[in-house]
Structure 1
Amino acid sequence: MRRAAKFIILLGVVSLFADMTYEGARGITGPFLFMLGASATMVGFASGLGELSGYIIRLFSGYIADRTRRYWFMTFTGYIINLVAVPLLALAFNWQVAILLIILERIGKGFRTPARDVMLSHATSQVGHGWGFGIHEALDQVGAILGPLMVFLVLYLRGGYRTGFLFLGLPAIFAILTLTVAYFLFPHPQRLEIETHRLVESPGLVFWLYIGVACLIGAGYADFPLIGYHFKNVTLFGDSLIPVFYALAMLVDALSALLFGRFFDHYGFRVMMVSVILSSLFAPLVFLGGVLAAVFGVVLWGVGMGAQESIMRAAIARIIPSDRRGSAYGIFNMFFGFSWFIGSLLMGMLYEVSLAALVMFSVIMQLLAIPLLVKVEKSV
């Protein structure tokens, strides 16, 4: 168990540095695109298409990972693409080039995620899938806190968005170095897998029900660039404070990932139902409320992200045998990403028509996942 925990923590540190890089950038891409002249619809399109591209590539990379078992090669390749794109944003002088780099960054992340998650699932079988993925997500989100704070410091010192993107290249280097250490210490992570009693008698049926849950949640979840765009558009907060609120969301993400991960190992999908109900409240608070309501909305947005990045991944490891998890993660993420893309595009369009309609769409789509989660809970 100690070696498994060491491997989880090492990959968590990799994610910490990686998240400093791309989450630091993500906190300011909305205002940056605004500065370059992009519309709200284009911001929603860029965010959604970036996620869609990253999630579609996971379908193929997950399948390839299962067939080739070259998990480390795919993980390294994806991280390099993912991390190099961020400092290159400093050289983007129109919104079209910026959007291409945003999409490239998401493609890199998508390429390496199934292979990395399969390796993680081997180790989490020893400590509990919910807890193991929760630990990884918590470390991941420490980076997501530090990255936006680094950008805040740059902006506070009047360095500008481009200087911020350049500084985010530093943690990218540390991420690759730590990943290299993990490879040399654990060249065969599949040996960490232990056999566990599988409670799911019909994993195919449960898996596709679960896909439906992911689609509904993804469609109703506004990406932070649109939230940041809104804050700037209505001058609710100054430019330098927007990445701080993103850091706050990431802090909540980290804490809720640990909490929900631990509870998931004991109470199963009922924990996910609670997280969906809580996160469904973020949209009215963020888009219709004042300063205090927006702060609470960002907190609830972070709660939802913590659940998505920990127990939603842990559930796949619980349902699907280890030799098919790469493909399962790829399929799951493709459907989730496609739904996120459609939802982001629609919410970007609704933003320019009616904030109330945007909020209704977000809340209803997320709450529709509850009946499906009840069916999943009864099937395991």
Structure 2
Amino acid sequence: MYLADRSAPSPADTQTAPDGRRLRAPAVSSAVLALGTVSLITDVSSEMVTAVLPLYLIAGLGLSPLGFGALDGLYNGVSALVQLTGGHLADRVRNHKLIAGIGYGLSALCKPLLLFAHSLGPISVILALERTGKGLRTAPRDAMISLSTPADAQGRAFGVHRAMDTTGALLGPLAAFLVLSVAVDGYDAVFGVSACVAVLGVVVLMLFVPSGGGEAPPRPAGGRSAVARPDPVRLRDALGLLRLPRLRNLSICAVLLGLTTVSDAFVYLLLQRRTGIADQWFPLLPLGTAAVFLLLAVPAGSLADRIGRRTVFLTGHGLLLAGYGLLLWAPDWPPLPYLVLALHGMFYAATDGVLPAAVAATVPGRLRATGLALVGTGQALARFGCSLAFGGAWSLWGTGPALAAAAAGLLCCAAVAGLVLRPEAPGGAPGDTPADPPADTPALPDPTRSP
């Protein structure tokens, strides 16, 4: 498999057939498909645990909603903080696959430890370590996707990857449901199967994902490098990325909207309490979100490439707001759970791959993982704060007022984001075209440009 790890290929890149005909390049690179396969397998493992964790902690261990909000925030906050380290290390050592592999390996190592943890303290530590692995791998993985994709197809590439990732999110809860239905020690059985699947994901990464983002330039017969190695990435270069106006605007909007995005676990708990879904069906709720995400991730990414990422991104948050509204004010219709889960999945399809595609268009290639990590960290830390705040509001006010406050906050933040991400020219939006690098960042030949 081939990974273009120095610069994104030109949209005009084509292959020539023996008879002289020009052949169209594949829709996505083999690197994207390989990374998607790894994410699919890893998400089966992760979502098996995630699907049963809220019920296990609240019903099994007696954790309060406030306690679960703190733990859920920790679960995501640790990942957020480590993203910066993973992104900077990947750019510094110029080997994205190495850093991503360490992250996948650490997450896989933590899964079997859940078999021996049956109290809140040890579980918290294991989950924090597992999220550390996720944080290490996220930015290098997304950097490999963007660096192997033409600039005008970034949304499609991330959509394909997220669709494959979501296939794992679809299969994971289903596997957890099946294990719980046949195993005597249901939760331990889920954790054990999850560990085995996680190891398989690491094996696929090592064998099939091409190395990239750090390979040395080719050497001629004389032994000297034919192309001078670029200067090592410094911490000052990474911090200088915040001077890019478009990247700064994307970071601000990701933080604002993350502060009012209720975590998936709380959405499913709210839906269960609102509709009276039985406990044994609870692990299947993420399937609704995942199925819609899977169907729409690629179309949403392609649409963002055509009409602008700003429009699709903000529309996704509007759909999430509609889901909150249904949970708050809709009558008890039989189709209510399906409508809420559909809107939840549409929100992810319109935002989860579109945001990194917009970030990739603003950051030079040698700092791609760092730029992705900066925005991802801000968003994840904001969601950490939302988990804490929502858990506290639930405990103090109840579910209705807590969700109403989140909905009002999301409406206000979406309006602000619409102003911050206003188009700078007809057909353009911040994040869709690259800005000049900071003054102390060396000019690079490979910044991408989006239509």
Give the aligned partner of residue 19 of structure 2. none
Is residue 321 of structure 1 aligned with residue 369 of structure 2?
Answer: no
> Residue 401 of structure 2 aligns with which residue?
357
Cα-to-partner distance string for 1:246-305 (whole Å, 9 max, x where unaligned): 112111122232121011100111111211111112234346664632332222222222
1:45 Cα deviation from its structure 2 partner: 0.9
The equivalent position to 2:97 in structure 1, one of 51, 54, 72, is: 72
2:298 to 258, 264, 273: 258
Once the two structures are superposed, residues 25-75 of structure 1 have per-residue CA deviations (whole angstroms, 9 ceiling, x without a partner) of 111110011111211111111111111110111112212222221211101
Query: In the alignment, is residue 303 of structure 1 matched against residue 346 of structure 2?
Result: yes
The residue aligned with 1:371 is 416
More deviation in 279-288 or 267-276?
279-288
| Contact 2:91/2:213, CA 8 A, preserved across alignment | no
* Separation (CA, whole Å) in 1 of partners of 2:244 and 2:364: 11
Q: Given residue 244 of structure 1, which amino acid in structure 2 is its aligned partner? A: L
Could you tell me how far apart the structure 2 residues matched to 1:92 and 1:227 are? Answer: 26
Distance in 2 separating the partners of 1:175 and 1:246: 21
Distance 1:113 1:262, change over 3 A: same
| Structure (1 or 2) with the greater helix fraction | 1
Question: 1:274 and 1:324 mapped to 2: Cα distance?
Answer: 29
- Partners of 1:231 and 1:162 lie apart in 2 by 26
Give the total of aligned pairs: 368
Of structures 1 and 2, the one scoring higher in RCO (CA 8 A, sep 6+) is 1
Shift of 1:156: 1.9
Structure 2 vs 1, CA of residues 370 and 323 (structure 1 numbering), >3 Å: closer, same or farther? farther
> What is the TM-score of this pair, normalised by structure 1?
0.90
Equivalence map 1:228-247=2 (5 Å):
228-230=268-270, 236-247=276-287
Work out whether 1:248 is the aligned partner of 2:297: no
How many Å separate the matches in 2 of 1:77 and 1:288?
46
Asked whether the 8 Å contact 1:270–1:377 carries over to 2, the reply is: no
Distance 1:95 1:306 in 2: 33
Contact 2:40 2:168 in 1 (8 A): yes
8 Å Cα contact 2:79/2:131 also seen in 1: yes
Q: Which structure has the larger Rg over C-alpha atoms?
A: 2
Contact 2:145 2:158 in 1 (8 A): yes
How many angstroms apart in 2 are the aligned matches of 1:178 and 1:45? 34
Gaps of 5+ in 1: 192-201
Q: How big is the alpha-carbon RMSD for the aligned residues of Structure 1 and Structure 2?
A: 2.3
Matching of residue 280 in structure 1 with residue 316 in structure 2: no
C-alpha deviation, 1:150, in angstroms = 0.3
Q: Please, which of 249, 256, 259 is the counterpart of residue 219 of structure 1?
A: 259
On the 8 A contact 2:70/2:391 being kept in 1, the answer is yes
Mean CA deviation greater in 351-360 or 16-25: 351-360
Shift of 1:86: 2.7
CA distance, structure 1, for counterparts of residue 38 and residue 97 of structure 2? 13
One-letter amino acid of the structure 2 residue matched with residue 301 of structure 1: H
> What does residue 207 of structure 2 align with?
181
CA distance in 1, matches of 2:27, 2:345: 30
Indicate conservation of the 8 Å contact 2:95/2:211, yes or no: no
Paired residue for 1:102? 127
SS where residue 98 of structure 1 aligns?
helix
Q: Distance in 2 between matches of 1:51 and 1:254?
A: 22
**Structure 1 match to 2:236:** none
Determine the structure 1 residue equivalent to 2:445.
none
Please say if 1:153 is aligned against 2:194. no
Q: Distance in 2 between matches of 1:109 and 1:41?
A: 24
The alpha-carbon deviation at position 361 of structure 1 amounts to 2.5
1:81 and 1:375 mapped to 2: Cα distance?
38
1:364 partner letter: A
Match of 1:7 among 13, 31, 34: 31
Asked whether the equivalents of residues 220 and 363 of structure 1 are also in contact (C-alpha less than 8 Å), the reply is: yes
CA 1:296–1:235: 2 relative to 1, 3 Å: closer
In the aligned structure 2, how far is the partner of 1:5 from the partner of 1:346? 41
Question: Deviation string for 1:183-241 (max 9, x for gaps)?
Answer: 4xx223679xxxxxxxxxx9811211111211122111122222344456678222221
Report the Cα distance in structure 2 between the residues aligned to 1:252 and 1:323, rounded to whole angstroms. Answer: 35
Aligned identity (percent) is 24
Alignment-mate amino acid for residue 334 of structure 1: T
Partner of residue 222, structure 2: none
Question: SS in structure 1 opposite 2:244?
Answer: helix
Q: Give the counterpart letter for 1:305 in structure 2.
A: Y
Give, as a single letter, the amino acid of the residue that structure 1 aligns with 2:192.
L
In the aligned structure 1, how far is the partner of 2:120 from the partner of 2:272?
17
